[in-house]
Structure 1
């Protein structure tokens, strides 16, 4: 009887501990934005962080110009850290999908690793975010596609291995929603999207639409990517556009403005709740989002 009481007491205590620690460890939903114009962190750092606070942004993908010294970034990243905003190093070009440009990618990763070694805790970069889009090159739509994909995959393997030299870095990349129909050249059962998700800690699915639910909506375009991320234990954000688009009004929130966009994005946690991989949204980009009408 005493043993039963002790067992029950232990289970109750363990349950209470799990509840309390689980509650305290619960992560806040991420709201990210891209910042491509590196010079803005010098000309308007306070405006950037004020805007971030107003809009609930807690993650910035900051374009890193590796020709600049570490000191150029330290002040802004420290201010961001103190404001509860993490900064990830943003880099990438379509041509970074080609093997000939691997040295540029490695130099970028090496710069980030070296930067973190010399930076104070509040000045550190929390991750690297790659925006490599070889599928926009004309060659992608030719017989060269398989070769380009192999080169891209080789570059990904190389930068993942190098970035892991700093275990504190979270490694992420952008993936367009429609890439989940493109299979690997040497594996007809696996798409390039699934492969990319398997390689990274975090992915951002570019689901450029201007409404949260319904047909041809944000939530309708991402289930396949989120399913893979669920299965692979990865984190996934869903990205939207605020830049004027020649592809049609439905692609961007440019016409509708901030209030409408925020209302639509607020629906996503509920709509995507079946997916444990879903951790938040990303808005492309600060430069277009800030002047957007209310």
Structure 2
């Protein structure tokens, strides 16, 4: 009798999750996440690029930026997501603007969240977005160099917490992107961001010197609040965006990448931390050079 009840409850839960657009991933344990900022990737060619990467760097999540008109029109995205789901890859709407850290920009963020919700409501379970990725970097604002940085980060953490609560009501998971260095001087906002503002925290750990040590505090918070941590690997060439060779895997080998990931798995609990790759075209080029 107990076994039958458990099966019924599990089935009911699966129905509820699917209805909310939070269907469980087909792969266990979770593999990697791939960022894609190229809006033209939502095509047959784009899907093939993702699946080619998936063969060498297994994926369970694609973080894809979508044009607003494409979300409103829906049909092209539905085909794209359905194909990904058939391979066990969940899709998230990738979006971000440093100005969204400010309270006066909240309406724009909520509008974007509502747009994703409306898309999901009009789509089948296999066509839905699992959630959103909020790449909001307050340190890119002019205020970062002219105002109290700690106060700015506290305000940002409050905004992110509010966005997360709103997204939860819409049945959307939230991934937030954070730099690896917040723990040095801004531990309190960092703890709030990981503990209260996301389901997954993707750490831009762009310093190959001490990858595990740089994640120690973030991993502590993730474990405390039962959150998932993503260690993002950068693949952009040195010289771009201020990157140096020690910030990127652009010129590394696939073996070096895998060795790095093995070391991180040895340092942190299983099913807590997963790799992320930034971003589609750069990762594709990296694998072609191997």
The aligned counterpart of 1:201 is 199
Compute the displacement of 1:51 (Å). 2.2
Alignment partner of 1:178 is 2:181: yes
| Residue pairs, 1:98-177, within 5 angstroms | 98-146=102-150, 148-167=152-171, 169-177=172-180
Check conservation: 1:226, 1:277, Cα contact below 8 A: no
CA RMSD of aligned residues (A): 2.2
Compute the displacement of 1:280 (Å). 0.8
3-state DSSP of counterpart to 1:128: strand
Check conservation: 2:53, 2:283, Cα contact below 8 A: no
User: Gapped runs of 5+ residues in structure 2?
Assistant: 1-25
Q: Distance in 1 between matches of 2:34 and 2:207?
A: 16
Aligned residue-pair number: 257
The aligned counterpart of 2:59 is 57
3-state DSSP of counterpart to 1:29: coil
The aligned counterpart of 2:85 is 81
Check conservation: 1:242, 1:254, Cα contact below 8 A: yes
Q: Distance in 1 between matches of 2:154 and 2:272?
A: 28
Q: Distance in 1 between matches of 2:271 and 2:195?
A: 13
Higher helix share: 2
Bigger relative contact order, structure 1 or 2, given CA contacts below 8 A and separation 6+?
2
Alignment partner of 1:94 is 2:87: no
Alignment partner of 1:220 is 2:218: no
The aligned counterpart of 2:281 is 287
Q: Distance in 2 between matches of 1:266 and 1:86?
A: 24
The aligned counterpart of 1:6 is none
Check conservation: 1:32, 1:59, Cα contact below 8 A: yes
User: Gapped runs of 5+ residues in structure 1?
Assistant: 1-24, 184-189, 211-215
Compute the displacement of 1:121 (Å). 1.1
The aligned counterpart of 2:189 is 192
Check conservation: 1:242, 1:289, Cα contact below 8 A: yes
Q: Distance in 2 between matches of 1:26 and 1:283?
A: 18
Check conservation: 2:161, 2:193, Cα contact below 8 A: no
Structure 1, residues 229-282: CA drift from partner, whole Å, max 9, x if none? 11111111111111013332111001114343233223321232xx35623110
